[in-house]
Structure 1
Amino acid sequence: MPHGTTAPKTPLRLQIYRQLRAAIEQGSFAAGARLPPTREHALALGVARNTVLWAMERLRAEGYVITRVGDGSYVAGDLAALGRPVSRGSQGSAMAPALSRRGQLIADTALRWQPPLQPAQAFRIGAPEIATFPFALWDRLARQASPRQRLAQAQYLDPAGLPALREAIAQWLWVSRGIRCEAAQVLVCAGSQQALDLIGRLLLDPADEVLVEDPGYPGIRASLLGHGATVRPVPLDGEGIDIAHAAARWPAARLAVVTPTHQFPTGVRMSLKRRLLLLDWARAHDAWIVEDDYDGEFQYGAHRIPALCSLPQAGRVLYVGTFSKTLHPGLRLGFIVLPHALAPTFASARALTDRHAPGDAQDVLARFILEGHLLRHLQRMRALYPQRQRVLIEALAQASGGALQLRPSEQGMHLLHELPPGQADAPLAARAGAAGVYLAPLSRYTVESPRRGWLFGYAAYDTDALQTAAAIVGALLMPRR
């Protein structure tokens, strides 16, 4: 390759074609297996349906896929007749994949949830502001470590986390979220997704029923399904998850995963009455509650709502927190607050997974918290995000001729525009994606719920990016002449 040139980017449709072909060749899609409908597959990947259709048509032309009119697409039944081995060993002989049942469940996760891999662009949700993160301060704190400290951090460490960081997190949670806990109850992990994985492995057996919010975060459902759990979607209303409905419909449920401070993705705040009912349910059913407080630090009103875990009788609540939203996702640090009895077992499981988090990052984060830098950073973000929210609301209203009137919120990093019943949200999301705007449809986060709408992230984007993206979406909504 000539000096100074870069390789051309592989077209998205070709990437999807290669992924599907590899899945067939490696046995993730067995011979005769029905493939996901192209519309659902496109929604899961966040691409236009035509992109998936192109990939499927090429696979059909090459003989990997057959299409049955009115019945969908299937992997070709006689793969040997295609004249290719499924995979090649060191001697070139054909070898069949040998995934366990659980391994196959994990492999199938890609059909249910694929986190975005591209840099954040408006209006992608869940992305924090990183352009103004104090990287220079972080680097200075890292350089302040003495040679002796660096040698200590380069050793194998406690899988539960550095004692200094666990103590800093416990102190912070009491001040910020009203949670009284000891450092011994804090387990440091690689973000909230690993926390959910540990919970699923240690508290659930295959086929155990788990209550999840509907709409809700697909990464939670994918993790639970990967462990063989049976996911039970529970509808929401203006007070949050309807636990009475869930208890009556699924009395055998052993665990519930909730986002009570700022429900993802609808933004509903769980009422105190519902919180108490949820705690009563856990005690009565000997069940667990997982509180995912993914953006609980971003509350902009005069009064901040404490965590569910801060209430009395919350002994069956596992609190999951992350620094991916408060600082940045590249840090890959989060934590779980556990009952004392569970803490040693979770530490052992963490050791089996990846031993422990990097010691130098833990050390810097501990000092970042204890020296007040986390508080100052969050204060800046709590001032910045409402400003960007206002820009978003005004830009969308103007660009759409008033068709998109988003309601302001005193919480979170995104807004939801919900559609009247019966309207579809996927078509506009697909057209926006083709025009370079990441617009997530609410249907992407539902299981049984008929609710539809669009999600608009604003935290990571400056005024120009928000206004440009709003102009594109507004033009797509305006009637064509």
Structure 2
Amino acid sequence: MFKHSQLESVKAWLAHPSHAAMPLHARIQRAIRQLILDGALGAGKPLPASRALAASLGVSRDTIESAYTQLHAEGFIERRVGSGSFVAEMTEFAPGQRRSRRDALLRNQAPNLSKRGAAMFNGGGVRSMLTPRAFTHGIPETRTFPIQLWERLERQVLKDYGTKALLHGDPQGAEPLRRAIADYVNLERGARATADRVLVLTSSQQAMMLCASMLLDPGDRIFIEDPAYHGARKAFDAAGLECVPVRVDRQGIVVEQIMDDPRGAKAVSLTPSHQFPTGAKLALDRRLALIEWAARHQAWLLEDDYDSEFHYNGKPTACVQGLDPHDRTIYIGTFTKSLFPSLRIGYVVLPPQLVKPMTVARTLLDGHTALIPQLTLARFMDGGHFGAHVRTMRGIYAERLEALTNLVEQHLSEFVEARVPMGGLQMPCILTCDLSERAAIDAGRRVGIELFGLSGLHASENAKAGFLMGFAAYTPEELEMAVKKLADVLRSTIRN
């Protein structure tokens, strides 16, 4: 007969809501199988007679017989005429404690990864937070998103496309969305795009990985901004590239360092419209110089235009891709910042000769981007809703940036110096007090505040300590509460 604990384990399995869809005999069979796998029922142990177990569980004897028959067919038990049912000997399987010890040993072993795999693992991935805390950077406001309008457009898509919307999509992206993206970047960003040059992806991070893998070989050099967006650097490190940092000043990346480097590089990674994290805008003469350098050396310019929609002082500068007559610029965009993170739609505008190779390569990564969100987004853009939403959020974010700037001046001026950006979703702050960056970040986390350190974005060792404060996803009232809380914990940390 089962021990009391074993019988209760079987009853718990039967009662669990997630197992309700299974036939009763299958639930009993799975419960007993799990006891065997866990080592709770050792090899050679007798199982209860079918009549006795049926009485204990309040089921029919036929139900128990069906469960035992399946266990016997799978090799978990032996049935001996006149003797009953017993747990089978499984010499190649180590249940229970032996399996637990083996799993523990395996977990503690160094994984046998490739060089590229080790680079990806050691890079730590890109920060992801399911529920953002003040002042998580790069997160847009989603509570005001017109979700009912989005639902209506999605219903229209399903009505018009029917079951076709449930099939695989075009690996290059749904044609209506590619057309809408091309129209948008041409009008708003001064790009030179057509629908057949747009490749729809799941994110700008995927675009970085794709460019790194398809355009450069391991060991090739790539110029990156210093400081630089951490996601780009990790993508390039994972691809085995040699990242060559180039200083950034108030006018963006210092192109003289690129021009004077005798070894050169095969690509330059840029955030020209709003440099991450400094907020600097790349000057026009530097843009033109990079375009000519890339054409002369047959190099690539990777232009990450990650949040150019949100520019608060004057009009945003036209993108580099639109100025490049030589087709050496790859324009990378995303809707994660302008709409909402879970949309998972980004895109690249490619030179014509790269469209087919890049599209084939993306089929090896994840096939295609989900079709229904693509078609819904296309209608959202074609109907003018995207432009209206961006204009609304631009006003909201400008107010929140002003609120955060005033709050930092009022409550945090003894600790930091704010570098007010011309655009974007976050504000850099430089530490001016006797407190390390790590101590400030840890202090914030103790009170539920998320700060992103600046020094880790620099390749040079003389980087100024500080942190990014995201403001877009938080109301002025929420910002005020968080700033005051941060001021108190920083003051307490210094005092102690």
Normalising by structure 1, we get a TM-score of: 0.77
Paired residues for 1:307-322 under 5 Å:
307-313=319-325, 315-322=327-334
Structure 1 residue 437: Cα displacement: 1.1
1:428 paired to 2:440: yes
Show the counterpart of 2:123.
109
Out of 100, 104, 129, the position equivalent to 2:114 is 100
Residue 123 of structure 2 aligns with an amino acid whose one-letter code is: T
Show the counterpart of 1:62.
none
Q: Distance in 2 between matches of 1:472 and 1:297?
A: 31
SS at match of 2:337: helix
Show the counterpart of 1:121.
133
Show the counterpart of 1:39.
none
Structure 1 residue 303: Cα displacement: 2.3
Out of 150, 157, 168, the position equivalent to 1:145 is 157
Structure 1 stretches lacking a partner, 5+ long: 4-82
Show the counterpart of 2:194.
182
Residue 472 of structure 1 aligns with an amino acid whose one-letter code is: K
Show the counterpart of 1:363.
375
Q: Distance in 2 between matches of 1:421 and 1:341?
A: 53
Cα distance per residue 1:78-110 (max 9 Å; x no partner): xxxxx9657789xxxx99854333223323222
Structure 1 residue 394: Cα displacement: 1.4
Q: Distance in 1 between matches of 2:309 and 2:156?
A: 28
Paired residues for 1:258-297 under 5 Å:
258-297=270-309
SS at match of 2:460: coil
Structure 1 residue 383: Cα displacement: 0.6
Out of 186, 191, 204, the position equivalent to 2:216 is 204
**Alpha-carbon distance change, 86 to 279 in structure 1, aligned in 2, over 3 angstroms:** farther
Show the counterpart of 2:460.
448
The structure that has the greater radius of gyration is: 2
1:473 paired to 2:471: no
Q: Distance in 2 between matches of 1:282 and 1:328?
A: 34
Show the counterpart of 1:245.
257
Q: Contact 1:397 / 1:403 at 8 angstroms: preserved in 2?
A: no
**Alpha-carbon distance change, 423 to 448 in structure 1, aligned in 2, over 3 angstroms:** farther
Q: Contact 2:416 / 2:430 at 8 angstroms: preserved in 1?
A: no
Structure 1 residue 114: Cα displacement: 4.1
Out of 463, 468, 473, the position equivalent to 2:476 is 463
Query: Which of 386-395 and 148-157 deviates more?
Result: 148-157
**Alpha-carbon distance change, 154 to 118 in structure 1, aligned in 2, over 3 angstroms:** closer
Q: Distance in 2 between matches of 1:239 and 1:397?
A: 25
Show the counterpart of 2:204.
192
1:214 paired to 2:232: no
Q: Distance in 2 between matches of 1:310 and 1:415?
A: 28
Show the counterpart of 1:80.
none
Show the counterpart of 1:155.
167
**Alpha-carbon distance change, 314 to 409 in structure 1, aligned in 2, over 3 angstroms:** farther
Out of 157, 178, 202, the position equivalent to 1:166 is 178
Percent of pairs with identical residues = 35
Q: Distance in 1 between matches of 2:151 and 2:368?
A: 22
1:235 paired to 2:247: yes
Structure 1 residue 218: Cα displacement: 1.2
Q: Contact 2:224 / 2:270 at 8 angstroms: preserved in 1?
A: yes
Structure 1 residue 314: Cα displacement: 5.3
SS at match of 1:341: helix
Q: Distance in 1 between matches of 2:269 and 2:292?
A: 15
SS at match of 1:324: coil
Q: Distance in 1 between matches of 2:274 and 2:340?
A: 19
Structure 2 stretches lacking a partner, 5+ long: 1-11, 16-99
Q: Distance in 2 between matches of 1:415 and 1:462?
A: 15
1:335 paired to 2:343: no
Structure 1 residue 247: Cα displacement: 3.7
What RMSD over aligned residues (CA atoms) do the two structures have, in Å? 2.6
Q: Contact 1:308 / 1:314 at 8 angstroms: preserved in 2?
A: no
SS at match of 1:277: helix
Q: Distance in 2 between matches of 1:181 and 1:333?
A: 18
Out of 421, 427, 440, the position equivalent to 1:415 is 427
Show the counterpart of 1:131.
143
Q: Contact 1:418 / 1:451 at 8 angstroms: preserved in 2?
A: no
Out of 298, 310, 326, the position equivalent to 2:310 is 298
Q: Distance in 2 between matches of 1:230 and 1:185?
A: 29
Q: Contact 2:397 / 2:471 at 8 angstroms: preserved in 1?
A: yes
Residue 145 of structure 2 aligns with an amino acid whose one-letter code is: F
Q: Which has the higher contact order (CA 8 A, sep 6+)?
A: 1
**Alpha-carbon distance change, 265 to 171 in structure 1, aligned in 2, over 3 angstroms:** same
Structure 1 residue 173: Cα displacement: 0.6
Q: Contact 2:429 / 2:468 at 8 angstroms: preserved in 1?
A: yes
**Alpha-carbon distance change, 408 to 214 in structure 1, aligned in 2, over 3 angstroms:** closer
SS at match of 1:278: helix
Q: Distance in 2 between matches of 1:221 and 1:245?
A: 19
Structure 1 residue 475: Cα displacement: 2.3
Structure 1 residue 441: Cα displacement: 1.8
Query: What is the aligned length?
Result: 395
Residue 114 of structure 2 aligns with an amino acid whose one-letter code is: S
Q: Distance in 2 between matches of 1:304 and 1:102?
A: 37
Normalising by structure 2, we get a TM-score of: 0.75
Q: Contact 2:300 / 2:330 at 8 angstroms: preserved in 1?
A: yes
Q: Distance in 2 between matches of 1:96 and 1:312?
A: 47
Show the counterpart of 2:238.
226
Q: Contact 1:206 / 1:227 at 8 angstroms: preserved in 2?
A: yes
